[in-house]
Structure 1
Amino acid sequence: MTINGKAIVATLSTAHANPAKSAIRKGLPQVLAVMVKNVLLLAYGTTIGYPTILIPGLSGQNKHETFHLNEEQISWISSINMMCVPLGCFFSGVATQPIGRKKAMQIVNFPLIGCWLLFRFADEVWQIYLALALTGLFGGLLEAPVLTYVAEITQPHLRGMLSATSSLSIILGVLFQFLLGTFLDWRTLALVSCVFPVISFCLLLFVPESPHWLVMNNKMDEARRALAWLRGWTTIEDIETEFQELCAHYQVTDKGLDNPAFEDNVNGTVGKQNNTEIVQKSFIQAKIEGAKNFTKKNFLWPLAMVSFIYFMVHFTGSTTLQTYAVQLFATLQSPIDKYYATVFLGVAEFFGCIVCVILVHYAGKRVMAFISITGTGICATVVATYAYLINVKYFNLQHTSTESDPDLDLYKWIPLVFLILLAFVSHCGLRVLPWILIGEIYSKETRATGCGISGAISYIFGFSANKLFLKMVAFLTLPGVYWFYGSLSLLGIIILYFELPETEGKTLQEIQDHFSGLSKLDNKVRRKKISTTNGNVNTAFDDKVPENDQNEHVESRV
């Protein structure tokens, strides 16, 4: 016992002597939990990248296929999955709340496996449509659990950076499809893609549920254990202060819901029938009050802001570029093989997401957004001007060879480089930004459903961008479409300059107060200050931070 006691004292002394090491231990479980969740997003990313391989595989070049696609069917292949994602998103929040974030993420893996098997054995077009629709539907169902899980398990100084890894994981899944699609046919690729949902389900067994959800559902002992796991595999006693503040935030006690309507009458004057009526009235009243939350300013304002960002994401060129990459490189006569060019595109998106993780942590969301949007607008404008100068007006859907002007050989690198740059800079911030924001801009009452609704809006815009792309090219010409993308980028910079607050490093309560109109966030990135105390101080739920100490306060754990 004496030896153990000395060991414990030595360990504590070492932690105090080396606060950086202690901070790493506290952050590591959060990073691991997010990485496990990201395997599911990687599995979902493979479904997004798959149509890019599927479209050329069924466009008529392979004579051994039992069916082929015409132009109208190609437009549906590129967009039908995004059309169905909003349906899943709308139900995502409702499905997540009763069963929990973790269990919802696990369940989604099974239908994804079934969809890949349907792709593998499809012998008619309608089976491809069905598989795409189902991947979209179940992909939408994972929006709320994934986004709320990250927001609820991470500390403020890690939240932005770890939230950005969600898009990084999706792009990694897309890149995986681009790479293997260069060597495998679309049927074999579908079979290989089954591996990721299986790995995701197994890994999720080893991470805890969100402590927020556990507290809201009166699972107090599990919530304590989950919080202790996430704060450095520490003891329950060490996180008790934070746990009590978490309970206070949700107006519960460590014994359960702090609501007298559900307590037994002490004097026995209320019978079982009256008690049931009280419960029913309280339930109905709670539902009505819950519905009113979605008509308040602190929900409508962030919803409008993030919806505009989603519109920009999908109508500034990166979404249609990812879907029609092979045909677009062929149309602009890429100097390298169109499939290799697509691989470079996926690599650029992946590294763009890595840069985004760094930018959001050190520069903040506003600077990251402005750099990304400006770069996207410039790239789209250059591509439009090049297409106009070489008189390329319409799309080469069959990606057949066309006569090439030898005088232009030197300049064919221009569209290739700037399309890859467009993919890179858009993923440096613009495409990732709204997915980071929706996990933190909604109040605790609307967060899960708000994430689902926001995700639905994103995929509605994504479906529209892909479905309308060929019609926009036919009406505006290819240069006209990319000039439109560049103009929208300029408009986005102006609007977001006035409407986008800096949330990096701010607590969820401060962000909620900003969108409620109770206070106003400044545009500075708040940095973490390592505390020399024992770490039990928690300001997560403080309504105000002193103005002269906004960058120096001890950081919240929640």
Structure 2
Amino acid sequence: MAPEPEEKDGEFVSTGSVLRQVLFGLVVAFSTLMTGFTSAWPVVLPKLQENPRSFNVTDQDVAWLVSVQGIVGMCTSLLSGHMVEYFGPRKLLLINLFPTFGLWLLMAFTSFLSVLYLCRIGLCISTYIIKSFFQAYIAELCQAKIRGAIAALPELIISVGVLVIYILANFFSYEVVTALCAVPFLPLFFLAIFLPESPYWLMRRNRTDDVKASLQRLRGQRENVNNEVKVLTRTSKVQVSAWSQIHELRKRENILPILLVLSILSLREISGQTALFSYSVYMFRQAGVEMDAFLCTVLLGCVRVVTTIIAVPALDRAGRRPFLIGSSVICGTSQLVIGFTLLMEIPGASWVPLAGLLIYVAAFGLGQAGIPWILMGELLPTPVRSIGSSIITFTYCLLMFIVNYIFFWLLANIRLGGTLCLFAFANVILVIIAYFWLPETKGRSLENLEVAFVKRKRLDQNDHDSNHEVTIELPLS
């Protein structure tokens, strides 16, 4: 079992500094509203099919419009790491927020199917580029004492975005729902203009004066940031080219955290979380749930929002590791109970699938929903943070596409009960990996976490950014 380090970031954080970091972090977090909207938007396509314009949308078009996000995610993730290092996270965020307002409006009122496809692809590109670096950007802007709470907010915002689209789709037309999706992104773009650039990125570019200016904006003009500048000088190695980052992957302390986060996110996706939310209506119908399937789906969305709200303040109190392990245990158990109930065809148990999925969604919102992305921002070392994020995001999108693509095949061949049991097995493996190899990141500075995967050895005192650093031995096997 991986030991839980006692070392915490013991620096004093003033109220004014906390407020500034919270405000900046909120702007970055709200950019993930794009993820919630783009993932939930296909729910309004049936209304477009029922009231066609100058073009018809077939079921095949719907399938492509839904699945294109996985394909786009794979393609953009290959370039996103290089783009972050070239532009910087602040400028890249602005570049991707700028066209979204117009794309949503154009998609709402276009009379051409080809334009609908192009707008959908453009929005997915912006979504997945932002998705590949927003957690790292939040982690680099916020100090350890508040980083967990801010880093948990994006998942809450995504959940709210999904629920908002579900509710709007029940009351308004395709045009109105799609046009309303544009509303938040124009003011969000102007707010993002005032964000400071990541001091870590600036240090990797050897822009030391700009590093201090960025930290002063984040912490406040009266705060002394000289110590932070010194720490960044020691720990943020200059690694801006793709080739230099690939070279850094050879080092154990760089590749191990990438593999760890990659395995957690991959198993989370193999456990079927995207499919369960995307095809919930089909699942409820096949399971024989007596309640209306669309109403059941809205209940899932509400439960996810509520539990995500609970998780935001709790992550900095209880820590990431216990929440992820506990969440995965409950998710896997819920899937097994539903699966065995359906396979055994127990009479009078039609309520079990709904109750089980509500429990699954509650546990998912408390841990699995946001923690893997938080870990990506916290655990990936500075020299390989961009390329590591790209590798992880590419694999995540590939698995998302595969699981969603074969879901109907699984239902046809092993039915819903067998599919859920298969998904539960992935959760079992996730629990094992998190229990034995995942270190706790709560309250630790990014500089402290840089040494978390170094072989246990005697460190020189000059390499410490605090009085006593704790290192963790993480075996390859």
Task: Please indicate the TM-score interval, normalised by the length of the shorter structure.
Answer: 0.7 to 0.9
Distance 1:489 1:352, change over 3 A: same
Q: Match of 1:40, as an amino acid?
A: S
Q: Tell me how far 1:472 sits from its aligned partner.
A: 1.5
Alignment of 1:254-273 (within 5 A): none
Q: Is the Cα contact below 8 Å between 2:135 and 2:377 reproduced in 1?
A: yes
Distance 1:455 1:288, change over 3 A: closer
Query: Distance in 2 between the 1:104 and 1:376 partners?
Result: 35
Report the equivalent of 1:501.
439
Distance 1:132 1:63, change over 3 A: closer
Q: Tell me how far 1:388 sits from its aligned partner.
A: 3.0
Give per-residue Cα distances to partners, 1:296-336, cap 9 Å, x unaligned.
Answer: 22232222222221222222232112111233333334444
Report the equivalent of 1:134.
122
Q: Match of 2:83, as an amino acid?
A: A
Query: Distance in 2 between the 1:491 and 1:288 partners?
Result: 33
Report the equivalent of 1:270.
none
Query: Distance in 2 between the 1:519 and 1:350 partners?
Result: 44
Query: Distance in 1 between the 2:344 and 2:117 partners?
Result: 38
Q: Tell me how far 1:248 sits from its aligned partner.
A: 4.1
Q: Is the Cα contact below 8 Å between 2:33 and 2:157 reproduced in 1?
A: yes
Q: Tell me how far 1:340 sits from its aligned partner.
A: 2.9
Q: Tell me how far 1:83 sits from its aligned partner.
A: 1.8
Report the equivalent of 2:3.
none
Q: Is the Cα contact below 8 Å between 1:181 and 1:189 reproduced in 2?
A: yes
- Alignment of 1:44 with 2:35, yes or no, is yes
- Alignment of 1:546 with 2:437, yes or no, is no
Query: Distance in 2 between the 1:540 and 1:197 partners?
Result: 46
Give per-residue Cα distances to partners, 1:238-295, cap 9 Å, x unaligned.
Answer: 223333433344479xxxxxxxxxxxxxxxxxxxxxxxxxxxxxx99x7754431123
* 1:67 maps to which of 39, 47, 56: 56
Alignment of 1:242-321 (within 5 A): 242-250=228-236, 289-321=244-276
Q: Tell me how far 1:460 sits from its aligned partner.
A: 1.5
Distance 1:513 1:318, change over 3 A: same
Q: Match of 2:253, as an amino acid?
A: N
Query: Distance in 1 between the 2:324 and 2:140 partners?
Result: 24
Give per-residue Cα distances to partners, 1:69-110, cap 9 Å, x unaligned.
Answer: 33x555433322122112212211211222221111111013
Report the equivalent of 1:488.
426
* 1:342 maps to which of 297, 318, 333: 297
- Alignment of 1:454 with 2:442, yes or no, is no
* 1:369 maps to which of 324, 327, 331: 324
Give secondary structure in 1 for the equivalent of 2:171: coil
Report the equivalent of 1:229.
217
- Contiguous gaps of at least 5 residues in structure 2: 1-9, 472-477
Query: Distance in 2 between the 1:293 and 1:251 partners?
Result: 11
Q: Is the Cα contact below 8 Å between 1:140 and 1:456 reproduced in 2?
A: no
Q: Match of 1:39, as an amino acid?
A: F
- Alignment of 1:33 with 2:24, yes or no, is yes
Distance 1:311 1:216, change over 3 A: closer
Query: Distance in 2 between the 1:230 and 1:325 partners?
Result: 42
Q: Is the Cα contact below 8 Å between 2:266 and 2:396 reproduced in 1?
A: yes
Report the equivalent of 1:147.
135
Q: Tell me how far 1:227 sits from its aligned partner.
A: 1.1
Answer with 1 or 2: which has the greater Rg: 1
Q: Tell me how far 1:47 sits from its aligned partner.
A: 0.6
Q: Is the Cα contact below 8 Å between 1:67 and 1:123 reproduced in 2?
A: no
Report the equivalent of 2:340.
385
Q: Tell me how far 1:52 sits from its aligned partner.
A: 3.4
Q: Is the Cα contact below 8 Å between 1:383 and 1:415 reproduced in 2?
A: yes
Report the equivalent of 1:415.
353
Distance 1:290 1:328, change over 3 A: closer
Q: Is the Cα contact below 8 Å between 1:78 and 1:467 reproduced in 2?
A: no
Distance 1:306 1:288, change over 3 A: closer
Q: Percent identity, aligned pairs only?
A: 25
Q: Tell me how far 1:494 sits from its aligned partner.
A: 1.9
Distance 1:420 1:491, change over 3 A: same
Q: Match of 2:262, as an amino acid?
A: S
Query: Distance in 1 between the 2:125 and 2:146 partners?
Result: 30
Query: Distance in 2 between the 1:344 and 1:87 partners?
Result: 34
* 2:450 maps to which of 512, 523, 527: 512
Report the equivalent of 2:474.
none
- Alignment of 1:438 with 2:376, yes or no, is yes
Query: Distance in 1 between the 2:229 and 2:385 partners?
Result: 20
Q: Match of 2:468, as an amino acid?
A: P
Q: Match of 1:23, as an amino acid?
A: S
Query: Distance in 1 between the 2:12 and 2:454 partners?
Result: 38
Q: Is the Cα contact below 8 Å between 1:513 and 1:519 reproduced in 2?
A: no
TM-score computed with the length of structure 1 as normaliser: 0.74
Report the equivalent of 1:196.
184
Q: Match of 1:420, as an amino acid?
A: L
Q: Is the Cα contact below 8 Å between 2:268 and 2:430 reproduced in 1?
A: no
Two-structure CA RMSD over aligned residues (Å): 3.1
Alignment of 1:54-93 (within 5 A): 54=45, 56-57=46-47, 62=50, 64=52, 66-70=55-59, 73-93=61-81
Distance 1:251 1:106, change over 3 A: closer
